[in-house]
Structure 1
Amino acid sequence: MITPEEYLSFLDARLPGLVAGAHLHGSRVLGDVVADSDLDIVVELSSPAEVPGFEGADVAVVPAGSLEKPVSAVTPLAGEITPVLWQQLRTVGQTVRGTRPTCPVTAAEVEDYCRGNLVSYWKVDFDRLREVLPSLDPAAPIPRESLLWVGLGPARLWHTIRTGEIVSKSRAGELAAARWPDLPVLDLVASRRGADVPLTVAHAAASLDLFDRILTDVTT
């Protein structure tokens, strides 16, 4: 698993003197690092440049000073930036180079983004799943990585909409399981944490059910 120091050494060797800031978010700062966790990092460059790819690093690149501006006023050089990212950097992000950023963002901006993302991104995927589920054997195995993504991702948005807090995938799964204990969400949490839990089409169906309940919960 790549460390921030290794990644910054890689960048410095290829972009000498350009990396003005680097800030961690995601599993590394939310206490949810698992075997296949990426290094989630925002890099500030003092001059525009193409940042080479690095396996295991999920990188957003912005001009130096961008993290002192509203996210709507920033055009990234690479990767995606969102109000949720700004909120995470502002509250729990870890600065490994440069000055800790202010990342100005409002609670309303964060909530609006989460609500919009549930519909514009997640609902599209779940509607596709809804179409194919009837033709699948509930006992058939299903790819772990894709199921954990769809099974735990919407729960993070649900919790942020309700509380403003940003939590990890595992914690979001625990919170959703406490809210809807009839669904096997804890199987997904256990699998994410490395347990040998067989994941099946039935878990995908439960993830769809969870998504529908989340949508109802945040719209009523």
Structure 2
Amino acid sequence: MITPGEYLDVLDARLPGLVVGAHVYGSRVLDDVVDGSDLDVVIELSAAAELPSVDGADVAVVPAGSLEKPVFDVTPLAGEITPVLWQQLRTVGQTVRGARPTCPGTAADVEAYCRDNLVSYWKLDFDRFREVLPSLDLAAPIPRESLLWVGLGPARLWHTIRTGEIISKSRAGELAAARWPDLPILDLVASRRGADVPLTVAHAKASLDLFDRILADVTS
């Protein structure tokens, strides 16, 4: 698992003097590091350049000074930037090089992004799964990583829409399980944290049920 310091050493060796800002977000600052967690980081460059690919690093690259502007006014050099990212950097992000950014934005921008993402991204995937579900054996095993992604991702958006707070996947799963205890969401949380929990198509169906309930909850 690469550390911020190790990653900056790689960048500095390849791009001496260009990396003027580095800001960590995601699992490293949300107390949710698990086996296989990436280093989520935003890099500010003083001049446009292509960063070397480094295993275990999920990177967005912006021109220096971009983090003092609204996200809608910034064109990234690489990676994706969103109002949710800006809020993380503004509130819980860890600056490991450069000045701490202001990342201006509003709660309304964050909520609107989350609501749109539920429909434009997640609903499409779940609708496709809904079509094939009747042909699947509920007891059949299912790939862990893909299930944890779809099972816990929408719960994070649900919580942010309701409260404005950005939380980890694990915490989102715990809160969703408390809200809908009939669904086996805690199995996904336990698996994410390294427990040997057999995950099956039945868990995927529960993730679909959870998504439908989340969508109904935030649109009611």
Same fold (TM over 0.5): yes
Given residue 28 of structure 1, which amino acid in structure 2 is its aligned partner?
R
- The separation in 1 between residues aligned to 2:142 and 2:125, in whole angstroms, is 16
Q: Deviations over 1:169-199 (max 9, x none)?
A: 0000000000000000000000000000000
Partner of 2:17, secondary structure, is coil
Cα distance, 1:125 vs. partner? 0.4
- The separation in 2 between residues aligned to 1:9 and 1:159, in whole angstroms, is 36
Structure 1 unmatched runs, 5+: none
- The separation in 2 between residues aligned to 1:97 and 1:129, in whole angstroms, is 43
TM-score when normalising by structure 2: 1.00
Partner of 2:29, secondary structure, is helix
Within a 5 Å distance, the mapping from 1:167-206 to structure 2 comes to 167-206=167-206
Structure 2 unmatched runs, 5+: none
- The separation in 1 between residues aligned to 2:27 and 2:186, in whole angstroms, is 18
Matched residue, 1:46: 46
Cα distance, 1:94 vs. partner? 0.2
What RMSD, in angstroms, separates the aligned Cα atoms of the two structures?
A: 0.3
Matched residue, 1:159: 159
Indicate the percent of aligned positions where both proteins have the same amino acid.
85
Matched residue, 1:112: 112
- The separation in 2 between residues aligned to 1:181 and 1:91, in whole angstroms, is 30
Partner of 1:186, secondary structure, is helix
Given residue 157 of structure 2, which amino acid in structure 1 is its aligned partner?
L
Matched residue, 1:101: 101
Cα distance, 1:52 vs. partner? 1.3
Number of matched pairs: 220
Matched residue, 2:34: 34
Given residue 213 of structure 2, which amino acid in structure 1 is its aligned partner?
R
Matched residue, 1:70: 70
Given residue 49 of structure 1, which amino acid in structure 2 is its aligned partner?
A
- The separation in 2 between residues aligned to 1:200 and 1:64, in whole angstroms, is 46
- The separation in 2 between residues aligned to 1:111 and 1:52, in whole angstroms, is 34
Q: Deviations over 1:97-148 (max 9, x none)?
A: 0000000010000000000000000001000110111100000000000000
